[in-house]
């Protein structure tokens, strides 16, 4: 069986730099054998947050890729704080928030961009937790997707 780090390496994806807090909070906090991760945005490899609104300035596919980029930013935060993706045993909970207009309906499809990444890293059982996917009126700095998560540690 391959490790989460090995699984991630096989994907051929880059990790953006670990995001710095843009307010009074920690990106990640360890509490017993759990770790909580703050709401993350789609931080790009150049350190700049992608902006836009899903279904308005971003297509469905672009929105799903933005959610994957949020997932990559979360992985980067995990590596920066815990040293390795292998320190995480499994995904417990994801809250996926999509910035979109009131008539948008495809939130689960968008957030799958992050969830499929986690499933590829930690596997189809451990990489999949509970989830809510919902539509926000607005998100900080006009980012299209914000995701917070909770993991169980090894």
Q: Which is nearer to its own copies, 12 or 137 (CB)?
A: 137
Residue from 39, 42, 63, 144 binding its own copies (CB under 8 A): 39
Least distance in Å: CB of 145 to its own copies?
A: 11
Cβ atoms 39, 28 nearer than 8 A: no
Which of 22, 48, 60, 154 forms a contact with its own copies (CB under 8 A)? 22
Q: Residue 107 interacts with its own copies (CB under 8 A)?
A: yes
Of positions 87, 109, 123, 153, contacts its own copies by CB under 8 A? 109
C-alpha dihedral sign at 49, 51, 55, 57: negative
CA-nearest of 93, 68, 84 to 13 is 68
Q: How far is the CB of 96 from its own copies (least distance, A)?
A: 9
Query: Does position 26 bind its own copies by CB under 8 A?
Result: yes
Contact, 27 vs 18, CB < 8 A?
Answer: yes
Q: How far is CA 95 from CA 14, 46, 57, 107, 152, in A?
A: 23, 25, 23, 11, 15
β pairing state of 88-99 and 34-40: unpaired
**Residue 61: CB partners within 8 Å, gap ≥ 6?**
none
Given 12, 14, 24, 46, the residue binding its own copies (CB under 8 A): 24
Binding site for its own copies (CB under 8 A): 22-29, 31, 36-39, 53, 92-95, 97, 100-109, 111-112, 115-116, 119, 128-142, 146, 148, 152
């Amino acid at each position: 069986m391959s490790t989460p780090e090995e699984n991630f390496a096989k994907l051929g994806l880059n990790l953006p730099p670990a995001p710095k807090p843009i307010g009074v909070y920690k990106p990640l906090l360890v509490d017993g054998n759990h770790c909580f991760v703050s709401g993350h945005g789609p931080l790009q490899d150049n350190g700049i947050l992608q902006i836009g609104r899903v279904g308005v300035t971003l297509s469905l596919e672009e929105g799903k890729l933005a959610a994957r980029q949020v997932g990559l930013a979360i992985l980067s935060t995990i590596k920066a704080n815990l040293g390795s993706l292998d320190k995480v045993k499994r995904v417990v909970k994801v809250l996926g928030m999509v910035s979109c207009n009131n008539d948008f309906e495809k939130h689960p499809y968008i957030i799958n961009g992050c969830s499929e990444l986690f499933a590829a890293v930690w596997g189809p059982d451990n990489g999949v937790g509970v989830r809510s996917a919902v539509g926000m009126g607005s998100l900080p700095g006009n980012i299209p997707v914000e995701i917070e998560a909770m993991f169980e540690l090894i």
